[in-house]
Amino acid sequence: MSDVTRILNAIERGNAKATEELLPLVYEELRSLAAHKLSHEAPGQTLQATALVHEAYLRLVGDEPQSWENRGHFFGAAAEAMRRILVENARRKRSAKRGGHLERVDLEDQDIAIEGPSDDLLALDEALAALIREDPGTAEVVKLRYFAGLSLAQVAAILGVSERTAARVWAYGRAWLLRVITSSGHRPRG
């Protein structure tokens, strides 16, 4: 049993000190996953990898008791938390269009970033929600590959399938999502 799995089991049993031990063990891997995910976002993304990791971690070990079977299950939950945070961020930006929540700031003291459209992420989220309803297994592979940035070998190990099966499911999931997104009138970038 890995250290991470041992600590996750201790957290499940209610050991509060175990939560403090977990972050140093998983931080770099979570940060790498967050950086990978953010590298695929539109230019001007204002959310930093560190902030994404911290928010996801707080959601994972927050007030509600969590139960993780193993390290892979934990990182799958982390990928889902990151996906939800990014979608919430995109929705917040979209609702603030046309100056709805702007306030005056002195530009000399600010870093300026150009914000790109967040509609692609929202279209993906809607399509992924439909895929979860239709085929939860394929949706899990998509979340682990796209949102957690895991390799096919890592996804296969987490899900207990062959790498070839993971590749086949990943190809199917991508094609399914592309069909749904394009049929809904969205045109994916890149």
Please classify residue 42 by burial: count the beta carbons closer than 10 Å to its beta carbon, then call 0-12 exposed, 13-18 middle and 19+ buried.
middle
**DSSP class per residue in the chain:** --HHHHHHHHHHTT-HHHHHHHHHHHHHHHHHHHHHHHHTSPTT----HHHHHHHHHHHHSSSS----SSHHHHHHHHHHHHHHHHHHHHHHHHHTGGGTT-----GGGS---PPPP-HHHHHHHHHHHHHHHH-HHHHHHHIIIIIS---HHHHHHHHTS-HHHHHHHHHHHHHHHHHHHHHTT-----
pLDDT at 115: 43
The residue written with tokens 């045109």 in the block is 187
Per-residue pLDDT of the chain (190 residues; tens, 9 = 90+): 567 778 777 777 777 677 777 777 778 888 887 777 777 666 666 677 788 888 888 888 776 666 777 777 778 888 888 888 888 887 777 765 545 555 554 544 444 343 444 567 788 888 889 999 999 999 999 888 887 778 888 889 888 899 999 999 999 998 998 888 888 776 554 4
The token duo for 190 is: 């890149």
Q: Half-sphere exposure of 60 toward its Cβ, with a 13 Å CA cutoff?
A: 28
Q: What is the CA radius of gyration of the chain?
A: 18
**pLDDT in the model for residue 116:** 42
* pLDDT at residue 45 in the model: 64
- For residues 143 and 129, the answer to whether their CB atoms sit within 8 Å is no
Q: How many CB atoms lie within 10 A of CB 180?
A: 18
Residues near 137 by beta carbon (within 8 Å), at least 6 away in sequence: 159, 169
Exposed/middle/buried for 11, CB within 10 Å: 0-12, 13-18, 19+? Answer: buried
Specify the pLDDT at position 108.
43
Q: What is the pLDDT of residue 49?
A: 79
Question: How far apart are alpha carbons 12 and 18 in whole angstroms?
Answer: 9
